[in-house]
Structure 1
C-alpha cells in the first residue's frame, strides 16, 4: 500500500476539496496522512484516515508562513511516504524540497492563483516573493492540478507545463433540508456562503437590500471583513434584512442552502485570482437546486451560460442588482438545475484525478 502525505495550510474542517480528494485516495487504497493546522475552531475532524493538525504559535503574516513552512518541512522529511501532495503555493516549498532531497513523487494542487490574491495587491514585496517561489518551482513540476481552465491556461502559457483541471464539484446526493434558525416566511431568501473577505461583492449586496422588500440576505462564513459588514448592517438599519450565520460545517451547510431562493457569487475583478475563479459555492448552489447570480467574469460566466442556471450581472450597481434579483426570483430554473447537477458532480470529476495518479 502506497503512503501519501497531503498537506494544506488551513484547519481541514471546511475544506471540501481536500476532503473529497483524500476520500478518493482512500478508496484507491492509499494510506493517507492529511496535515493541516489547528486554530480556535470548536469543530472536530473525524476522517477514515490519519490527520494531524499543527498548533501554530503565529496565525497570520510572515511569521505564520515562516513557521508553517519550517515545521512542515521537518514533518514531511521524517514521515514515511511514497507521494507528497501539496495544496496551494503556501505549502509547496517544503513539499518541493523534500521531494527533491528524498526523490519522492510530488503532486501540486493549486486551488487558486495564490500569488495574485487581492490581499497582496498593495504589498509589492510580499507579492514578488510568492511570484519568485512560483517561478522557481512550477516549471519543474510533473503533476499539477488546478480548479479552472483559465488558471490552467495561465500556468501553461507562463511555465510551459502540463496542468490537469479537476473542479471542486460536490457529491451527488439527495437534498435533506434543515430550517434556518429564524423565520423566512414570506421572504425571498438570498444566500452567500464562503469567505467573508475583500472583493466578494458583499458590500454591494448589503447596500442592495435597501431596495428590496420582503427579501432576506443570509451570509454564511467568516473572514477578514465580517466586523465591517456587521457594522454596515447596523448603521443602515438592515438587521431585519441581513442575517449572519458564521462558520458552519459543510454537511450542515448543504441542508441549509437549499432553503434559499437565490445564491450569489459577486466577486470583483481584483486581479487574476478573482478573474479566473470558479468558486465552490457556485456548484454548491446548483446542487442545492437554487439559481445563481454571478459576476461577469470568464469562468463563472461560461458555466452559468452553458447550463442556463442563473444570470450574470453586467452593471455592478444596487439598482441593477435589485432588478436582476427580482427577475431571477420570477423565473423557473428547475429543469436546467437538475441537468447541471447530474453532470457537475464529484463522481464524474474524480476520474481525471484517478487517471493522473495512475499515469
Structure 2
C-alpha cells in the first residue's frame, strides 16, 4: 500500500477539494496522511484516514509562510511516504525539496493561479517572490493537475508543462435540507458561500439588497473583509443580510438547498479570478439552486452549456436587483437536474493520475 502525504496551509475542515481527493485515494487502496495547520477557531475533524494539524506561532504574512514551510519540510523529511501531494504554491517548496532529497514521487494540485490572487495586486515584491518560486519549480514537475482548462492551458503554455484537469465537482448524492439557523419570514434567499475576501462582489450584493426588500442575502463563510462588510451592512441599515460565519461542509450542504439563488460575482481582478471556477457553483447546482455569475470565461461556460442560471448583465445595484427578480420568475429545474447528473466527482480521472506517476 503506497503512502501519500497530502499537505495544505489551511486547517483542513472546509477544504472540500482536498477532502474529496483524500477520500478517493483512500478508497482506492492508498494510505493517506493529511497535513495542515491548527487555528484557534479550528473545528474538530474526523476522517477515515489520519490527519495532522500543526500549531504555529505566526498565522499570517511572511512569517506564517516561512514558519509553516520550515516545519512542513522537516515533518515531510522524517515521515515515511511513497508519494507527496502538494496543494497550491504555498506548500510546494518543502514538498519539492523533500521529493528531490529522498527521490519520492511528487504530485502538484494547483487550485488557482496563486501569484495572481487579488490580495497580491498591490504587493509587487510578494507577488514577484511567488512567481520566482513558480518559475523555478513548475517546469520541473512531471505530475500536475488543476481545476479547469483555462488554468491548465496557461501553465502548459508558460512552462511547457503537462497539467491535467480534475474539476471540482461534488459527489453524486441526494442533498437534504436542514434547519436554517435564522428566521427569514418566508423571504426568498440569495446565498453566497465561500471565502469572504477582496473581489468576490459581496459589497455590490449588499448594496443590491437595498432594492430587494423581500429577499434575504445569506453569507456563509469567513475571510479578510468580514468587518468591512458588516460595517457596510450597518451603514446602509440592511436588515436583510445574514452572516453565518464559517460552516463545516456538511452543515453548509444542508443550508444550500434552502436558497432560491446562488451567487458567484467575482470581479476581474487579474488572471486568478478571470479563470476562476469556484466550488460553490457546482454546490449550488447539486442543491438544484439556479445561479447568477460573473461574465468570466470558466464560469459562463457552465451557464451557457447547461442553462442553469444567468450571467450578470450590469454590475450596478439597481440593475442587478431587477435581473434577480426577473431571473427568479423563470424555471431552471430541468436544466439543474441534467447538470447535476453530468457534473459529478466520481467521473474525474484522479486515481488514473496516481497509478501512472512519472
User: Could you say which TM-score interval applies, normalised by the shorter chain?
Assistant: over 0.9
Asked if the contact 1:179–1:259 (Cα under 8 Å) also holds between the matched residues in 2, the reply is no
Q: Measure the CA separation in 1 of the matches of 2:340 and 2:185.
A: 27
Q: What is the CA distance between 1:46 and its match in structure 2?
A: 0.5
Unaligned stretches of 5+ in structure 2?
none
Q: What is the CA distance between 1:182 and its match in structure 2?
A: 2.0
Asked if the contact 1:8–1:35 (Cα under 8 Å) also holds between the matched residues in 2, the reply is yes
Q: Structure 1 residues 23 and 274 mapped into 2: Cα distance closer, same or farther (>3 Å)?
A: same
Runs of 4+ in structure 1 deviating by more than 4 angstroms, as ranges, are: none
Q: Deviations over 1:203-227 (max 9, x none)?
A: 0000001111311100000001011
Q: What is the CA distance between 1:42 and its match in structure 2?
A: 4.4
Secondary structure, aligned partner of 1:258? helix
Secondary structure, aligned partner of 1:6? strand
1:303 and 2:327 aligned: no
Q: Measure the CA separation in 2 of the matches of 1:210 and 1:119.
A: 28
Q: Deviations over 1:148-182 (max 9, x none)?
A: 11100100110001111101111111121112122
1:258 and 2:260 aligned: no
TM-score of the aligned structures, taking structure 1 as reference length:
0.98
Q: Measure the CA separation in 2 of the matches of 1:67 and 1:182.
A: 40
1:232 and 2:247 aligned: no
Q: Measure the CA separation in 2 of the matches of 1:337 and 1:43.
A: 32
Q: Deviations over 1:65-107 (max 9, x none)?
A: 0001110110001111110000000000000001011110000
Aligned-residue CA RMSD (Å): 0.8
Secondary structure, aligned partner of 2:280? helix
Select between 178-187 and 103-112 the one with higher mean Cα deviation.
178-187
2:60 is matched with 60
Secondary structure, aligned partner of 1:330? coil
1:152 and 2:149 aligned: no
Q: Deviations over 1:259-311 (max 9, x none)?
A: 01000000000000000000000000001100000000000011111000000
Taking the TM superposition and a 5 Å limit, the aligned residue runs for 1:271-282 are: 271-282=270-281
Secondary structure, aligned partner of 1:142? coil
Q: What is the CA distance between 1:324 and its match in structure 2?
A: 1.3
Asked if the contact 1:290–1:337 (Cα under 8 Å) also holds between the matched residues in 2, the reply is yes
2:165 is matched with 165
2:314 is matched with 315
1:23 is matched with 23
Unaligned stretches of 5+ in structure 1?
none
Secondary structure, aligned partner of 2:326? helix
Q: Measure the CA separation in 2 of the matches of 1:353 and 1:175.
A: 24
Q: Structure 1 residues 19 and 160 mapped into 2: Cα distance closer, same or farther (>3 Å)?
A: same
Secondary structure, aligned partner of 2:34? strand
Asked if the contact 2:262–2:292 (Cα under 8 Å) also holds between the matched residues in 1, the reply is yes
Asked if the contact 2:11–2:42 (Cα under 8 Å) also holds between the matched residues in 1, the reply is no
Asked if the contact 1:188–1:329 (Cα under 8 Å) also holds between the matched residues in 2, the reply is no
Asked if the contact 1:263–1:293 (Cα under 8 Å) also holds between the matched residues in 2, the reply is yes
Asked if the contact 2:191–2:219 (Cα under 8 Å) also holds between the matched residues in 1, the reply is yes
Taking the TM superposition and a 5 Å limit, the aligned residue runs for 1:54-93 are: 54-93=54-93
Secondary structure, aligned partner of 2:328? helix
Q: What is the CA distance between 1:41 and its match in structure 2?
A: 2.1
1:355 and 2:355 aligned: no
Q: Measure the CA separation in 2 of the matches of 1:30 and 1:181.
A: 38
